[in-house]
Amino acid sequence: MRDIRLVRANKIVKRVDLYSLLIDGNGEDVRLESNDIIFIPVVGPLVTVKGDVRRPGIYELAGGERVVDAIALAGGVRSSAYLGSVELYRYTDNKKRVLLTLDLSDSSKTARNNLALRDGDEITIRSVSKLTEQVVFLYGEIKYPGEYQYKPGMRVTDLVSKDILLPHAYLKRAFLTRTFKDNSKKVYPLDLRRILQYSPDGLVGEGAVSGEQVVPFDPQDEDTTVLTRNIELRPWDRLDVFSYDRMKEKLTINIEGEVRMPGRYDYAEDMTLSDLVYLAGGPKRSAYLLHAEIARMDVDTMRVSRVFRVDLRRALSKPHSRFDPVLEPSDAVFIREIPNYQDHKKVWVGGEVLFPGTYVLDSDSESLKEVIARAGGFTRDAFLPGAVLMRKGIAKDLEERDVLSVISSLQRVYRDSSGVIDKRVLPIEVNSDRMNRIIIDLPKIMSGDDDSDVVLQDGDRFYVPRKPSGISVIGAVASSGTIMFKEGKKARYYIDKAGGFTRRSSKGDTRIIKPNGMVVKKRVMSHRVELGDVIVVPEKVEKDRNWLKVFQTSMSIIASALTTVYVVTKL
């Protein structure tokens, strides 16, 4: 583009530099004639100009240009350009890339550093530092946070005033961060509340004063515990005003016992006992209202200094009176339960009964059979052998009697495929639902066997399933599934219907699991199967088997057996 040629009659009649037209807008128009040739040669030497220039790009050299000429081709530098350290990357004759730093900040230095350009040169113009001079900063609970112009003699009240503070600004502690010449910083706490205690004009203090006084601040001499003077600011000072919630210590108060939502609550000034009780959802029916206990802490020793009783009934009936004491931060309120209080004990009955739902126990000795009668008895589709009775507290009782520790100890050893003993805790999950199940014989109970009946407890859940359609056969058989039930048939019949044993079947370990959770393991093949039974055929244990999986299954059976033994013993 720097040497476009017009050829006429095999002679160059004109050379055109398009940069004059494209960059400067100057161009000499040339009239073309028939058979003229316009020849555009291969691009010549190139130079790259980038950085803080107006038109960064790659430019072609016509010959003889210097660094300043290339910058001019790029439109010149911007006002933010820093010419004191212009970077020139260049390829030397031995094909190495070098960096030359040029100072073009004034005419005398430019004359020395205005080097002639070569093909492949790359010029980078840096920008001046974006750090603003003569500025101070104000952040936090401010309507207009940010940078502000610094003026000589400027003071704290020139930067911040009551008009620009947000409502929740905490004035007792603001923080001034000062940056020194060595770039070190120091933080000074300010008491803005006292600094801003001026008349409405914000300048002259109340009382007789003759004039405004500028107070210089020397950090070497100042006691910086808390500054209360309207000190002078310096460039780059930063003032942070925090919110009340951030700076103020969060005070709490605690309530325990017979309220609906016991726990820790935020303390409010002039909070009374009745306020806290209602904040915690109010007292339960079981709450003993004749007195509540308040434990008060000594703020110096943080120990209970005194415990006093309050008539809670009078405090709730006459709130904010002399009977309703004002609480203090860190108080602990205790509301006791009525002695020998007993709430309604409830059980849930579901499934195939006429009236499923929740029932309140008439007495502490009401039995399962009696509650079933209150539920209207069973439907025609009820499957009594499969009935399930669940109880919440069994798992906890097992733990207290160390049954769970026995199960855990049984999980620690298993053999790997090579027969080596490996001690580790196996990831066997004890099923909480199974642990909570009480095995019952409902047909016996309903036939009048009082010894089999169970006294119900609060929270018990009783469920009667629908009558199943057949017998389930699972495990190492040819085709696992459900086989239609036939009265009087034995386990062999149902296994044959499921395709029979396979080569991997462990026939001797076949089990029958009864609907109530009982397991039959002796003379299984000749055992008469009943409706709802599940026949389980395990696989043979081989040396290359996954012993971990086998042991997990065994541990689950052991856990169930231990639980069953415990429950039967407890009942």
Q: Tell which CATH architecture fits domain 135-200+216-247.
A: Roll (3.10)
DSSP state of 545: S
* Tokens coding 566: 């415990």
**Cβ atoms of residues 358 and 347 within 8 Å:** yes
> What b/e string do you get for 51-84 counting C-beta neighbours within 10 Å, with b at 16 or more?
bbbeebeebbbeeebebbbbbbbbeebeeebbbe
**Cβ atoms of residues 288 and 336 within 8 Å:** yes
CATH assignment of 46-127? 3.10.560.10
Rounded Cα–Cα distance for residues 535 and 362 (Å):
41
On whether the 252-335 domain is CATH 3.40.630.40, my answer is: no
Instruction: Look up the CATH superfamily of 344-571.
Output: Outer membrane lipoprotein wza domain like (3.10.560.10)
The CATH 3.10.560.10 domain(s) of the chain lie at: 46-127, 135-200+216-247, 252-335, 344-571
Q: Per residue of the chain (571 residues), what is the pLDDT tens digit?
A: 888 888 998 899 888 888 877 777 776 777 888 998 999 999 989 999 999 999 999 999 988 899 999 999 999 999 999 999 999 999 988 889 999 999 998 888 888 888 999 999 999 999 988 777 789 999 999 999 999 999 999 999 999 988 899 988 888 889 999 998 888 999 989 999 889 884 333 343 333 333 434 444 444 444 445 678 888 999 999 999 998 877 777 788 999 999 999 999 988 889 999 999 999 999 998 999 998 999 988 766 667 778 889 999 999 999 999 999 999 988 999 999 998 877 788 999 999 999 999 999 888 889 999 999 999 999 998 999 888 898 886 555 555 444 444 444 444 433 333 333 343 333 334 444 444 778 888 999 999 888 889 999 888 999 999 888 888 888 888 888 888 888 888 888 888 888 888 888 888 888 888 887 778 888 888 888 888 888 898 888 765 555 555 555 555 544 544 444 344 334 3
Rounded Cα–Cα distance for residues 232 and 223 (Å):
15
DSSP class per residue in 279-315? HTT-B-TTB-TT-EEEEEEETTTTEEEEEEEE-HHHH
